């Protein structure tokens, strides 16, 4: 994107963003792009150049609502635009590979929503394209936004600093309840051809990525069970997004899992347990992490996202115990740029931090994390979970990402 007269001399190079998809994730990413330059001091300034969707009038309305300068109805036209430097992919998984590879091959940087793809083969092709693009100075990142919760970034720092000693157990659950009602319609999120898998790829992908991020190693193998509790649902009647729709009289088959429960091993010897479901009545967006090491433990709950619980096991047993760290201080990850000490953040801020990390990577030339290789590594775990579950929980080793 060319520097305009207005920006010349400010030291902020404008970088055009083109986003594909404008439903829930598109709205969350738009919020991130709109806010990041006002909060973080970066050498680059994102410009919301154009948003893309197939329905012309709906995408134009979304552009107005979400703050995009233009609307496109063909993602290829978006990729071809001169005022677009970053392609942000917020579509269902069945289109990730095609759009991301085309965008990278066209010289654009790419941010892609999670899970990276619907299959390992697609994820491999995407990681290859990202590697080729890297040699040309482009970056590619997966939208595992929970890495950008300050408390979880702090947890990672504490693991790196050795505050937990040798990790023994990691325990992650991600529970929601929006499918409990059997009348909830069969939206794209319940179709394998669109979404790749169900709770596994949608929620399990987040906790697998977090586990690998926090432990610093890829999962080496898994034993899994998956289940589809409601196998037939009403087809959506009229317009639907993944999470909201009205059901009609006709019904169809659910082709994804409703829940996945699995255990895993890390090469270091740490054991992991995971549970992902959209059937946990009363649990709205309940992502919990617990790490137990030889020197201490950490616990996190997304429903209390400004807090991290820490138990220092090197303290005397008579006075030690879990204590609450309020992750709201300027010395904590991302927080210096926000409000005065003690003022917490929320879900939406993770998308601002995600945009910040991508722009920082572009400005410095460093490859951002999670890279497409990290996304591929998660994809391999998801595939191993499905393979293990198909064999009634047989332990399934995972070839590590080179």
List residues binding ligand SOE (CB under 6 A): 24, 176, 202-203, 243, 285
Please state, in angstroms and rounded to a whole number, the distance separating the CA atoms of residues 306 and 172.
18
Please state, in angstroms and rounded to a whole number, the distance separating the CA atoms of residues 11 and 390.
56
Alpha helices in 270-365 (DSSP H): 349-364
Cβ atoms of residues 65 and 32 within 8 Å: no
Name the nearest CA neighbour of 374 among 199, 141, 173.
141
81-111 burial by CB neighbour count: b if 16+ within 10 A, else e?
Answer: bebbbbbbbbbbbbbbbbbbbbbbeeebbbb
260 to each of 306, 316, 330, how far by Cα in Å? 27, 39, 38
Identify which of residues 24 and 322 has a Cβ nearer to ligand SOE in the complex.
24
Identify which of residues 239 and 243 has a Cβ nearer to ligand SOE in the complex.
243
Cβ atoms of residues 306 and 339 within 8 Å: no
Identify which of residues 14 and 370 has a Cβ nearer to ligand SOE in the complex.
370
Give me the least distance between CB of 273 and ligand SOE, in Å please: 20
Give me the least distance between CB of 347 and ligand SOE, in Å please: 8
Please state, in angstroms and rounded to a whole number, the distance separating the CA atoms of residues 209 and 170.
12
Give me the least distance between CB of 92 and ligand SOE, in Å please: 10
Please state, in angstroms and rounded to a whole number, the distance separating the CA atoms of residues 99 and 88.
10
Identify which of residues 85 and 357 has a Cβ nearer to ligand SOE in the complex.
357
- Which residue in the shown chain puts its C-beta closest to ligand SOE? 202
Give me the least distance between CB of 203 and ligand SOE, in Å please: 6
Identify which of residues 113 and 122 has a Cβ nearer to ligand SOE in the complex.
113
Give me the least distance between CB of 25 and ligand SOE, in Å please: 7
Q: Which are the contacts of 241, defined by CB distance < 8 A and separation ≥ 6? A: 23, 24, 187
Q: Which are the contacts of 340, defined by CB distance < 8 A and separation ≥ 6? A: none
Identify which of residues 232 and 348 has a Cβ nearer to ligand SOE in the complex.
348
Give me the least distance between CB of 280 and ligand SOE, in Å please: 12
Identify which of residues 47 and 374 has a Cβ nearer to ligand SOE in the complex.
374
Q: Which are the contacts of 130, defined by CB distance < 8 A and separation ≥ 6? A: 100, 104, 110, 138, 140, 371, 372, 373
Give me the least distance between CB of 14 and ligand SOE, in Å please: 29
Q: Which are the contacts of 91, defined by CB distance < 8 A and separation ≥ 6? A: 20, 21, 99, 113
Identify which of residues 11 and 346 has a Cβ nearer to ligand SOE in the complex.
346
Give me the least distance between CB of 5 and ligand SOE, in Å please: 40
């Amino acid at each position: 994107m060319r520097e305009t007269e207005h920006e010349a001399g400010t030291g902020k190079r404008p970088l055009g963003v083109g986003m594909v998809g404008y439903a829930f994730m598109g709205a969350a990413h738009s919020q991130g792009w709109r806010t990041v330059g006002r909060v973080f001091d970066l050498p680059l300034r994102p410009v919301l150049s154009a948003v893309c969707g197939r329905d012309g009038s709906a995408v134009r309305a979304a552009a107005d609502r979400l703050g995009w300068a233009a609307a496109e109805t063909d993602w290829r036209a978006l990729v071809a635009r001169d005022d677009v430097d970053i392609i942000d992919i917020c579509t269902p998984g069945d289109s990730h590979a095609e759009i991301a590879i085309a965008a990278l091959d066209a010289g654009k940087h790419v941010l892609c929503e999670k899970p990276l793809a619907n299959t390992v083969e697609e994820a491999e092709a995407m990681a290859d394209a990202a590697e080729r693009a890297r040699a040309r100075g482009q970056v590619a990142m997966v939208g595992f936004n929970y890495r950008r919760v300050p408390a979880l970034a702090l947890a990672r720092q504490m693991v790196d600093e050795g505050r937990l000693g040798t990790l023994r157990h990691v325990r992650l659950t991600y529970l929601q309840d929006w499918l409990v009602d059997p009348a909830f319609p069969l939206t794209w999120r319940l179709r394998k051809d669109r979404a790749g898998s169900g709770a596994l790829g949608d929620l399990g992908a987040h906790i697998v990525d977090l586990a690998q991020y926090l432990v610093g190693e890829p999962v080496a193998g898994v034993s899994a069970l998956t289940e589809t509790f409601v196998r037939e649902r009403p087809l959506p009647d009229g317009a639907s997004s993944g999470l909201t729709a009205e059901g009609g009289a006709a019904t169809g088959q659910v082709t994804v899992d409703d829940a996945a429960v699995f255990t895993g091993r890390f090469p270091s010897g740490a054991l992991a347990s995971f549970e992902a479901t959209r059937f946990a009545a009363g649990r709205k967006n309940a992502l919990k992490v617990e790490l137990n090491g030889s020197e201490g433990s950490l616990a996190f709950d997304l429903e209390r996202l400004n807090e991290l619980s820490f138990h220092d096991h090197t303290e005397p047993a008579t006075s030690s115990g879990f204590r609450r760290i309020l992750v709201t201080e300027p010395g904590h990850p991302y927080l210096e740029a926000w409000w005065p000490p003690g003022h917490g953040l929320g879900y939406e801020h993770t998308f601002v931090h995600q945009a910040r990390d991508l722009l920082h990577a572009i400005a410095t030339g460093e490859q951002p994390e999670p890279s497409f290789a990290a996304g591929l590594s998660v994809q391999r775990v998801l595939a191993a979970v499905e393979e293990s579950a198909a064999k009634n929980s047989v332990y399934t080793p995972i070839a590590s990402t080179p």
